[in-house]
Amino acid sequence: MNIQPPVKVFKRKAKPRTLADQNKNMENQELEERFQEKVDAELKIEPKDWMPEKYRKTLVRQISQHAHSEVVGMLPEGNWIGRAPSLKRKAILLAKVQDEAGHGLYLYSAAETLGTTREKTVEDLLSGKAKYSSIFNYPTLTWADIGAVGWLVDGAAIMNQVMLCRTSYGPYARAMVRICKEESFHQRQGYEIMSVLSKGTPEQLEMAQDALNRWWWPSLMMFGPSDAESPNSAASMKWKIKRQSNDELRQIFIDRTVQQAEVIGLTIPDPDLKWNEEAKKYAWGTIDWTEFNNVVAGNGPCNKERLVARNKAHDEGAWVREAAMAYAAKKAKQKAA
Amino acid sequence: MAQQLPLLTYLLRRGDDNLILGQRLGEWCGHGPQLEEDIALANRALDVIGQARNYLQYAGEVEGKQRTEDDLAFLRPEREFVNCKLVEQHNGDYAHTMVRSFLYDAWHLPLQKALTKSSDERIAAIAGKAVKEISYHLRASSDWVIRFGDGTAESKERAQNALNALWTYTGELFVQDEVDQALIKAGVAPDMAKIKAEFDRTMDRVLAEATLERPADAYMATGGRQGVHSEHMGLLLAEMQYLQRAYPGAEW
């Protein structure tokens, strides 16, 4: 499927040294045109293909953030493994958190195809330089939160991820295909937890409603700022990293989730929510972006705890990784001797 | 407890060992030394919880009081848990966790292998499935013990410390009381002397490669099989049983 890497073609052209800069510009322009043609023709960009530096950087940022989100996301859910209310639920939750770790691994590998290393990427998370999805800075306070995280958080994430299965960068798109399969399973499991709770005792119903109340708005924020305020969106759309806008995806999520809530008798905590018959979609209230910005800025309920936990795991695991490296080096030396 | 059917006690012991180990391993989730280990630990936890469920379901049926796996896991008080003390020990550092698993796996694999030949078909079937999983567990925990022992000075020290601290809990694994005697006689359970011989072979082989010293068999801590546990057991159960205790009768 790959087009011959354009670089080869240009290398054959002899260019006078004195015009090097000028030629470089022309070369880049031509390369970029070729690149865009390829994107427009729905061909995948592969690691060895030429790509604009901004495309590469955007992807590194996005894929690393995605990887970090999977890894940090293990913490709020892991919080309930010890207290899962049945052995079946415990096993399901363990398997789910394990899946998230696996997603983190694929995504760190996908980021590595763009010339970054996993060590460097992880270092950026630990130092607080890199971002991850702000949703994981909210606490899981009750068992119903595990249901809400699966139903709403994974549900919102899937909207993005389904779109990303068709993203222009090959390794990212392929990682996403596998991730999507597992995530949609998680979303159904989360919804099922909520469904069981809503049909349970009055206390369980209250627990489910309370979780929905707390997770609803942060889940809507997961899609990011509205299109007008989203600085990276235009370039990402042009390069087909993204294919649908934040607002479009948010609307699909709302339309779908409102109906799911109705089925299990839970109420979406938005007094302005109303079906618009003409537009065939829901009209809804206003997101509190001040809260969003605050959490992004590090002032969410669990920002500090999450980073402390990741750093602690990393620091306390250092001797384990060193031992594994030392042993591997010893064995390699013995083999060579 | 004294009047309990030997088969029921035996099944609860097998179920509780796995359940409590699974509970401990689950504590690591998201906190492992690297992402690959988070995945491996979760796998291990999933396997032993699966084995626990099989044994506890059968225990519930043998008891005949309509108790489910969850009733047995979440509604028994501490003194009715009959797991060995080894599995309830704190995770400690990664060497501690891996050595604990290594000791457990080195005993658990020959035991479950022998149980595949049990005269009780249900046990033989449960064990048949478990053996595949535990073979992998033992390989993985042995590999880590070897890496630690023959890795850096720090990892060696940590692994040796863990081995020294946990060795006292290995004696209990091989004790044969009247429950075991009755089941050995009925061909349900194997003679533990044979299991001990294989455990010893694994210890000698792996510890030699790891350049670790096998601790001397001094005082061995027991009591778990009679429900007399370490102090950490109550806290472990308090966490595990919290929701079932806080909302009696609720379905989840």
Average pLDDT score over residue span A140-157: 97
Confidence of residue A282 (pLDDT cuts 50, 70, 90): very high
Q: Write down the pLDDT at residue A11.
A: 43
For the purposes of burial, counting CB atoms within 10 Å of the CB of A105, is it exposed (0-12), middle (13-18) or buried (19 or more)? buried
Average pLDDT score over residue span B117-139: 98
The two beta strands, A281-283 and A274-276, are: antiparallel
Give the SS3 label for residue A7: helix
Which residue of A lies nearest to B41 if distances are taken between CA atoms?
A98
Instruction: Show me where the domains of chain B are located.
Output: 2-246
Mean pLDDT of chain A: 92
Q: Is the pLDDT at A279 greater than 90, yes or no? A: yes
Q: Note the maximum CA span of chain B.
A: 54
Interchain pair A94, B37: CB under 8 A: no
Token pair, residue A79, equals 């919080």
User: Positive or negative CA dihedral for B201, B204, B206, B208?
Assistant: negative
* C-alpha to C-alpha distance for B42 and A106, rounded to whole angstroms: 17
**Are residues B45 and A91 in contact, defined by beta-carbon separation less than 8 angstroms?**
no
Q: Write down the pLDDT at residue B65.
A: 97
* Letter string b/e over residues A304-321, b meaning 16 or more CB atoms within 10 A of that residue's CB: eebbebbeebbeebebbe
The pLDDT tens digits of the residues spanning A24-33 come to: 777 889 999 9
Q: Write down the pLDDT at residue A17.
A: 58
* End-to-end C-alpha distance for chain B, whole angstroms: 29
* C-alpha to C-alpha distance for A221 and A152, rounded to whole angstroms: 11
* C-alpha to C-alpha distance for A80 and A91, rounded to whole angstroms: 11
Q: Phi/psi at A169 (nearest 5 deg)?
A: -90, 115
* C-alpha to C-alpha distance for A83 and A145, rounded to whole angstroms: 12
* Chain A residues close to B52, C-beta within 8 Å: 87
* C-alpha to C-alpha distance for A76 and A329, rounded to whole angstroms: 37
Average pLDDT score over residue span B126-143: 98
Token pair, residue B36, equals 């690959």
Of 3.90.1150.10, 1.20.1260.10, 3.40.1190.20, 1.10.630.10, which CATH number belongs to B2-246? 1.20.1260.10
**Are residues B86 and B100 in contact, defined by beta-carbon separation less than 8 angstroms?**
yes
Confidence of residue A227 (pLDDT cuts 50, 70, 90): confident
A133: amino acid identity, one letter: S
Which residues of chain A from 141 to 180 reach within 8 Å of chain B, CB to CB?
143
**Are residues B26 and B105 in contact, defined by beta-carbon separation less than 8 angstroms?**
no
Average pLDDT score over residue span A314-319: 98
* Chain A residues close to B251, C-beta within 8 Å: 196, 200
Token pair, residue A337, equals 């001797």
Q: Is the pLDDT at A291 greater than 70, yes or no? A: yes
Q: Is the pLDDT at A10 greater than 80, yes or no? A: no
Q: pTM of this prediction?
A: 0.93
Average pLDDT score over residue span A84-102: 97
Average pLDDT score over residue span A62-78: 97
Average pLDDT score over residue span B46-57: 98
Token pair, residue B164, equals 């020294």
Q: Is the pLDDT at A238 greater than 80, yes or no? A: yes
Mean pLDDT of chain B: 97
Q: Is the pLDDT at A6 greater than 70, yes or no? A: no
- In chain B, the percentage of residues whose pLDDT exceeds 70 is 99
Distances (CA, A) of B97 to A175, A325, B43: 32, 19, 15
Interchain pair A90, B244: CB under 8 A: no
